Structure 1
Amino acid sequence: MQNHLRTFVLLAALTAIFVGVGYLIGGATGMLVAFLLGATMNFVSYWNADKIVLKMYAAREVDPATAEPLLANYVADVHDLAQRAGLPRPKVYVIDSDQPNAFATGRDPEHAAVAATVGLLRMLDRREIRGVMAHELAHVKNRDTLTMTVTATIAGAIGALANFALFFGGNDRERPGGIIGTLALMILAPMAAALVQMAISRGREYQADAGGAEISGDAQALASALQKIDAHARGIVNLTAERNPATGQMFIINPLSGRGADNLFSTHPATQNRVEALMRLAAPSRRAETAVPLTSARRGPWG
């Protein structure tokens, strides 16, 4: 309950930033327009969360009946993990990108979709892929997917409004805040939005890691997958993510190359910290596997 309240407050903060940007651009009228626009975006995001992001990344749904074995196994594993998690079967998509990554989207578990890149499916072994998809299903189970999509939509709009202020009103001295206000808007509004995104996303990634480990029953596989994805994703540019940096928080690993300011405030925790947390979860099960049963330990040489 506390996490949901915190997320609601942070989403309200994002909306307030958006409305404030509208005020700095057009005064009271701009604020009203921004408020109405923000409400419309939230409504559209709620009903079309999955379609917006999937279309943006040119994701294609996988038909297991006609798919090659790699993709057929991918779909089968997602369906198996969804059953283990007590979730409806989500739609399963693949993205033609060499960068290894994955995300989940949708307004609720009944309308969820998961997507993995071709790069991820080719690079990881089946056990690791299951770990990654269990993480994404944990997001679905925790109902994070709607929050992440709405956050990405508002944060992206804040950046667009800031650019609008630069190109269409930077010399208007009559605007609230004047030129100095415009310059501050250009710099501070996207930074504030990134900080709010970071606050929303980081805690949810740790929760999804723990939930994914529980669903798959294999924390070590997810930890191994995170290390591999992190090592390779940095060297492969995801052009769609670079053009739409606000969507970066939806992926299991930050898809941005970090070549510009977009990666200044990462929405993801450090991968090493996530791996260490997963290995702590794996430790009890490893001890249980190697422990000598108590009945056997008490037996003497005569039984």
Structure 2
Amino acid sequence: MAKKRKQSEPKSSDPSAKEEELIAPTRPERTLSGYKHKIKVADHPQEEEKQNDSPFFRNKEKILVTCSRRINFRYRHLMLNVVSVLPHCKKDNKVESKESKGATLNELVELRNCSSCLFFECRKQKDLYLWMAKCPNGPSVKFLVNAVHTMEELKLTGNHLKGSRPILTFSSNFDENPHWKLLKEIIVQIFGIPKDHRKAKPYHDHVFVFSIVDDHIWFRNYQISVPHNETDKVDRGGLEKMTLVEVGPRFCLNPIKIFGGSFGGPTLYENPLYISPNQIRALEKKKKAGKYAKKVKAKKRRRMHEETNQLEPDEFADIWKD
């Protein structure tokens, strides 16, 4: 019979040694901006010093884009245009626009591993509201969307590469009041495409323009075009020859309220100049009904005049009867 081989390293009988082998080393906590406690490099202390000296921020922003049920076809096309312009967004199914939509949207954002949300809410198949929210802690903004023009109906000549990163430009009005500064920061975080995103191209060839006119935010999208031959390279001195060609879409945002939480919470700002579209439609109906009201008033005035100024009896009435 074959003999058993001798074990070179006898197994230790201590139970504490076995427990040490089973226990894995603790991992540092991970956040959106990196590791909270950085990994220690025992063999290379110089690398550890470099990590501490040069902290970095990695943008991991992801946006959930969805809409409410019974949305108009024009507003749905606008949402699809926004999705095509933002490569770091994710689409989801329609959500019922009720009072409890905030909890539903926050849960959807968490399930899809996103950090922000764009919610297109349509009321009465006429009015479009846009929610911009940082989930799940806020803040969030509610806008009324006006002057909507999609890419399909404009038929503009501009055409930029899909997935390229935009340059965000803002008018100087955004630095005047604190609520405009907050809106600017929210727009930068939502519309700013991360540099190392897998669906984003590593260069810029179009511009997002946000400008404030009459207390409204106007959005435009322009392509950066440089006239040159295919064989010749563009000189740095020739940047003055660049022109902007509009791509679309176009829309105007009228801020209604800014909330401290996500889709609700304490009101940080309320627009005093905002008038709801229902009030505007009611005033228009009153103007149209004003013609009938004028006729009724004129008839009442004639009756009052006849009662106060009665005619004297006619002397020749009996003669004419005979």
The structure having more radius of gyration, on CA atoms, is 2
Q: Does the TM-score normalized on the shorter chain lie above 0.5?
A: no
TM-score range, shorter chain: under 0.3
TM-score by length of 2: 0.26
